A and B are shown apart, each in its own frame.
Chain A
Amino acid sequence: MQRYIADRILQAILCILVMSALVFFLVRLTGDPVEYLISDQATQADYDRIYKAYGFDRPFYVQYVLFLKNMVTGDLGDSLYLHRPVASILRTRFPATLQLAVAAILISLVVGLPLGVYAAVGRGTGLDVSARFLAVLGQSMPPFWLGLMLILVFSVWFRLLPSGGKGGIANLILPAITLSSWLLAGITRLTRSSMLDVLGTEYVKLARIKGASEPKVIWKHAFKNALLPVVTFSAVMSVILVAGAVITETVFAWPGLGQLVIQSVIRRDFPVTQAVVLLMAVLYIIANLLVDIAYAFLNPKIRYSR
């Protein structure tokens, strides 16, 4: 298992490096990168200052090293729009996105896993059919539209919940539901199909032969094995969360990284865009790494290998 984990960590670091290199080169490709880092009202002196600070007069590899160094030490430049260090902006925004993401994950797991299990156990019943339909529906619904419709129904028509902004639990509900829609659908479908596979195995038959009660068969024997593919899916999960966060935060004016990145693109505030994209990518890679490690613990075949 140690080797598996070490391998995964190495891969993660490689991915981060590649991602940063990608961003780095893309920016250099599109013409004068300094243009992106200074505002329209900049003077020649500003231009020269940025030019020196990022080392554009130095060879490529030096630039890249400087770039990496800056990223790691937290010197991400200043926002052109807000005239504040980007790093501090990120620091205030990050917890908001984290809160939203955690809420969405919780909803998806708490609802999705049991739903998938019971849909599989009751194959062909009304519960199964409706669970499957809801799952397909959830994956076909554009999240931004869902968010708006939720606002329409719950904020405007019924005045039950606030329509945006950060605040208490009430503010969290609608955005969390919106963000979790895709995820919930995916987890339900996957859990269901995984459970169906496992319920047909010989070892589940053996559990019944032993005389185990049906709930025990379902949860102790079947579910634990069915969980493995779902854990792998969690990798995809992080992608959905990242993408969803951008959309959901925009719809609900949730002051997180997602909203920030879109605003920065529209405002042509490139230092912020670059920094947020890289941060989100790193977070995503780390999340995947954690999932891989969790998988290593859950799968005895990996846990007990060298």
Chain B
Amino acid sequence: MNPDPKENRAWFTKKLFRGWRLAVVPHVPATILCIFILVALFAPQLSPYSPTEAHFLDKLMPPAWVEGGSSEYILGTDFMGRDVLSRLIHGSRVSMTVGMLVIVVAGSLGTVIGVISGYFGGWIDILLMRFTDITLSIPAILMAIILVALFGASYFNIILVIVLLLWPRYARQIRGDVLNVKEQEFVALADVAGCSHIRIMWQHILPNVLPTILVLATLQVGWVIILESSLSFLGVGIPPPQPAWGVMVAEARGLVSSAWWIALFPGLAILFNVLSLNILGDWLRDRLDPKLRSI
């Protein structure tokens, strides 16, 4: 560990990009992820129809390659005649938005609390960690359910709920990392040199816990997407008619025997999305810090 923050950043980048050309980067997941992000960004331009546009006459049409399908609706239509592909594309927006927002907010909150807790120690640490322990000890879905039961289901509430559930996981992990970094001598040196606490935390500690933050972020987005889609599926998440993937699958439930495509494609979308994130996250973790052995 180098005391110079600039050197730290150089070390970090070098670690991340070393051997980039040697095909050790999992190209396939990275590409898939980029596709999803691009689709989410350019959803209105890419989707052939609006996600809520209902063509009642063309409802329940199978995908184009199945008998009875048409090339007008490549992935078929649902029970209201809405184009599945368009809903799928717009659904990626929902997932991405929720995923990104939750991670950014929960990650920031968790990092701040983790750094403060680890750095200052003492009763602050004990208090904050007890709090996170308790929050962690309650199963996420139960808390989500009861919060939704009380406050109702909406875009905002879902994000809030998942943030509340996620930040303790960050705080815990980051705090552990901070404790390790704190032991390093250069922190003591900075302290002796008269740096303020904020400066130490920002310049010295934060860059060294950055790898952990990054790995956690990547691995957790997948978890968030699955949680959000599960809640939406159950009816306590993003409320219809928003084209969230979980909602799409829920709507297809009764029709699974006759209209399998409405349930299949959103699930595949979630699967590929989360799979890419997990593989990428694993690769990142192996690269940056093999000692981070969380699930």
Contact of A281 among B138, B226, B253, B264 (CB under 8 A): B138
Residue A145 lies at the interface, judged by CB distance under 8 Å to chain B: yes
Complex interface bits, B110-145 against A, C-beta within 8 A gives 1, otherwise 0: 000000000000000000000000100111111001
Whether the pair A247, B234 counts as a contact (CB closer than 8 A) is yes
Chain A residues lying within 8 Å of B267, measured Cβ to Cβ, are 142, 145-146, 148-149
- Given A144-B246, A233-B295, A236-B295, are A246 and B141 neighbors across the interface (CB < 8 Å)? yes
Nearest CB in chain A to that of B281: its residue: A136
Cβ 8 A contact of B142, one of A186, A242, A270: A242
Instruction: Select one of A29, A148, A243 contacting B256, CB under 8 A.
Output: A148
A281 proximity list for chain B (CB < 8 A)? 138-139, 142
Instruction: Jot down 8 A-B pairs with beta carbons below 8 A, ordered by A.
Output: A26-B146, A137-B271, A151-B256, A246-B145, A251-B253, A262-B234, A265-B145, A273-B145
Contact A190 B249 (CB under 8 A): no
B139–A280 contact, CB under 8 A? yes
B277: nearest residue on chain A (CB-CB)?
Answer: A140
User: What distance in Å separates the Cβ of B140 from its nearest Cβ neighbour in chain A?
Assistant: 6
Known contacts A152-B257, A156-B256: A239-B139 contact under CB 8 Å: yes
**Contact residues, A203-252 vs B (CB, 8 A):** 233, 236, 238-239, 242-243, 246-247, 250-251
Q: 3 smallest A-B Cβ distances: which pairs?
A: A145-B267, A243-B141, A140-B275
Interface segment among B38-46, B80-88, B148-156: the answer is: B148-156
Tell which of B146, B151, B270 touches A145, judged by Cβ atoms closer than 8 Å.
Answer: B270
**Interface residues of A, CB < 8 Å — how many?**
53
Is B256 a contact partner of A152 (Cβ separation < 8 A)? yes
CB of A149 within 8 A of CB of B148, answer no
Complex contact A265–B236 (CB within 8 A): yes
A146 to B229, CA, bound (A): 13
Task: Kindly state the separation between the CA atoms of A285 and B139 in the bound complex, as whole angstroms.
Answer: 10
Majority SS at the chain A contact face:
helix
Bound state CA distance, A43 and B267, in angstroms?
Answer: 46
Check: A18 CB closer than 8 A to any chain B CB: yes
**Cα(A148)–Cα(B282), bound, Å:** 28
Q: A144-B230, A193-B293, A265-B236 are in contact. Are A139 and B278 (CB under 8 A)?
A: yes
A44 at the interface (CB under 8 A from B): no
Q: Does B235 contact A (CB under 8 A)?
A: yes
Q: Does residue B76 face the partner (Cβ distance < 8 Å to A)?
A: no
> What chain A residues lie within 8 Å of B234 (beta carbons)?
144, 246-247, 250, 262
With A139-B222, A239-B139 given, name 10 new contacts (CB 8 A).
A18-B134, A19-B137, A27-B150, A136-B282, A148-B253, A152-B263, A242-B139, A243-B230, A265-B148, A281-B138
In the assembled complex, the CB of A129 is this many whole angstroms from the nearest CB of chain B, namely 13
Taking CB atoms, residues of chain B closer than 8 Å to A265 are: 145, 148-149, 235-236
Distance from B84 Cβ to chain A, minimum over Cβ atoms (Å) = 15
Q: Is B160 in the interface zone, CB < 8 Å from A?
A: no
B147 at the interface (CB under 8 A from A): yes
CB of A45 within 8 Å of the partner chain: no
The answer to whether the Cβ of A68 comes within 8 Å of any Cβ in the partner chain is: no
* Smallest CB separation, A18 vs chain B (Å): 5
Q: A273 to B279, alpha carbons, bound, how many Å?
A: 37
Contacts of A144 in B (CB 8 A): 229-230, 233-234, 246, 249
Known A-B contacts A152-B260, A239-B139, A262-B236; the reply to A277 vs B145 at CB < 8 A is yes
Cβ of B89 under 8 Å from chain A: no
Q: A residues within 8 A CB of B256?
A: 148, 151-152, 156
Does B141 lie within 8 Å of A273, measured CB to CB? Answer: no
- Is A72 part of the contact surface with B, judged by Cβ < 8 Å? no
Question: For the complex, is A73 an interface residue (Cβ under 8 Å from B)?
Answer: no
